[in-house]
Amino acid sequence: MEETILDAFQQNGLSRRAFLKFCAATASLLALPPAAAAAMAEKLASTPRPTVIYLSYQECTGCLESMTRSFSPTIEHLMFNNISLAFNDTLQAAAGEAAEAARKEAMRKAWGKYILIVDGAVPLGAGGAYCVAAGQSAVDDLRHAARGAAAIIAVGTCAAFGGVPYAAPNPTGAVPVSEVIRDRPIINVSGCPPIPEVMTGVVVYYLSFGMPALDRQGRPLAFYGNTIHDRCYRRPFYDEGRFAHTFDDEGARNGWCLYELGCKGPVTYNACATLKWNQGTSFPIQSGHGCLGCSEPDFWDKGGFYRPLPAATGHWARGEVLGGAALGGAVVGAGMAMLARSHQKANAAKTAKEVGSQPQKEDSHEH
């Protein structure tokens, strides 16, 4: 009989209680009703231990850094040591040909059943020559690996939406995973990097209940169902129209809303405001800096991190939101951003022509 996840727990000297606790913690993390913890326990106790293949392409390894330095080491540890058998070329000891052989073997054994985690964008420019490992381009490698995958989890904004490599002028013709693979279920776990608990939570959810409900960007609603702004503790100040206008004014010191300083919280779907970062300590807005919108497509090219959003997203017209002093600053900032943007657009158009395969991404969630 195939080894189940519960077996893997028990072989590591963990009791049924530890297993139940793991399920309770994960169900709570996923915001599932508590009864789901029992269903999850039942399912995971009989589910064969899955193979997870983790492939990295055009990326900075920030996503993997995030995942391995996460707030509950227990859960992440279990995830990768007990629950799944992972291939990851950064974490594993083997290198070179031995690594390639290990990966081929893992894929062959679980062909058709493994979960493929992809981190990084895929460059199509110059025939894929911008990202080559062991003589194979990222795009060919991904196509091959996807054929044997039950599902693909695109981890990080680069894999999900193109991210930084995709930013104008996109010199390598980078595209997200979904532009290369169209015949496999893909779950986008965006963020630059994603919250570690979100990455592991998605894997556990998939194993227990199959595909999660996704938003129109392919992201699991459990984590990306609300904007940062929906759950921001500074929201009462936004509603009262109290804003910080510089990073050291009275408003900043009083912890008022960071909208005027370019906060992208109103158009950014992610769980930072509730799950937070670094052992649940804080998140950017709590540290006095606006949200960069890192979990949204094209966050890099949205005209400047410190430029206020182009329209008020609340119930007033933009004019009422802006104080006089802010207006001056915003106009200068916007002017600069527009210059930068038109420059980028020209470059982007040029690259698009050169590369030919550059997809036009729709703008997301802007209301």
Annotated binding site: 60, 63, 158, 192, 229, 232, 257, 263, 272, 291, 294
How would DSSP label each residue in 130-190? TSEETTEEHHHHHHHHHHTEEEEEEEHHHHHH-HHHHSTT-TT-EE-HHHH--SS-EEEE-
- Per the CB < 8 A criterion, the answer to whether 152 and 203 are in contact is no
Site for another protein in 223-242 (CB under 8 A): 233, 236
Site for another protein in 28-67 (CB under 8 A): 28-29, 31, 33-35, 37-38
Residue 354 and residue 349: Cα distance in Å, rounded?
9
Comparison of 160 and 232: residue with beta carbon closer to ligand SF4: 232
Please give the helix or strand (H or E) that residue 122 lies within, else none: strand 122-123
Residues in the chain: 367
Q: Which of 49, 219, 229, 307 binds ligand SF4 (CB under 6 A)?
A: 229
Residue 253 binds to another protein (criterion: CB under 8 A): yes
Residue 21 binds to another protein (criterion: CB under 8 A): yes
Residue 97 and residue 135: Cα distance in Å, rounded?
11
- Per the CB < 8 A criterion, the answer to whether 37 and 24 are in contact is yes
Q: Which of 75, 232, 330, 355 binds ligand SF4 (CB under 6 A)?
A: 232
Site for ligand SF4 in 189-228 (CB under 6 A): 191, 228
Residue 45, SS3? helix
Residue 332, SS3? helix
- Per the CB < 8 A criterion, the answer to whether 294 and 277 are in contact is no
Rg of the chain on CA atoms, in Å: 22
Please give the helix or strand (H or E) that residue 76 lies within, else none: helix 73-77
245-284 footprint of ligand SF4 as x/- string (CB under 6 A): ------------xxx---x-xx-x-x-x----------xx
Order the strands of the 149-155 sheet from edge to edge: 85-88, 51-56, 114-119, 149-155, 186-189
What's the Cα-to-Cα distance from 193 to each of 163, 276, 294, rounded to whole Å? 10, 13, 8
- Per the CB < 8 A criterion, the answer to whether 212 and 225 are in contact is no
131-170 footprint of ligand SF4 as x/- string (CB under 6 A): ----------------------------------------
Q: What residues are paired with 119 via a beta bridge?
A: 56, 155
Residue 285 binds to ligand SF4 (criterion: CB under 6 A): yes
**What's the DSSP call for residue 50?**
P
Q: How far is the CB of 59 from ligand SF4 (least distance, A)?
A: 16
Q: How far is the CB of 46 from ligand SF4 (least distance, A)?
A: 36
Q: How far is the CB of 235 from another protein (least distance, A)?
A: 8
62-101 footprint of another protein as x/- string (CB under 8 A): ---------xxxxx--x-----------------------
Q: How far is the CB of 37 from another protein (least distance, A)?
A: 8
Annotated binding site for [4Fe-4S] cluster: 60, 63, 158, 192, 229, 232, 257, 263
Q: How far is the CB of 10 from another protein (least distance, A)?
A: 6
Q: What residues are paired with 116 via a beta bridge?
A: 53, 152
Comparison of 230 and 354: residue with beta carbon closer to ligand SF4: 230
Q: Which of 8, 32, 203, 291 binds ligand SF4 (CB under 6 A)?
A: 291
Residue 304 and residue 173: Cα distance in Å, rounded?
22
Q: Among ligand SF4, another protein, none, what does residue 120 contact (CB within 5–8 Å per kind)?
A: none
The distance in angstroms from the start CA to the end CA of the chain is 52
Annotated binding site for [3Fe-4S] cluster: 272, 291, 294
Q: Among ligand SF4, another protein, none, what does residue 207 contact (CB within 5–8 Å per kind)?
A: none
Binding site residues, another protein, CB under 8 A:
10, 14-18, 20-22, 24-25, 27-29, 31, 33-35, 37-38, 71-75, 78, 233, 236, 253-255, 279-280, 286, 288
Binding site residues, ligand SF4, CB under 6 A:
191, 228-229, 232, 234-235, 238, 257-259, 263, 265-266, 268, 270, 272, 283-285, 290-295
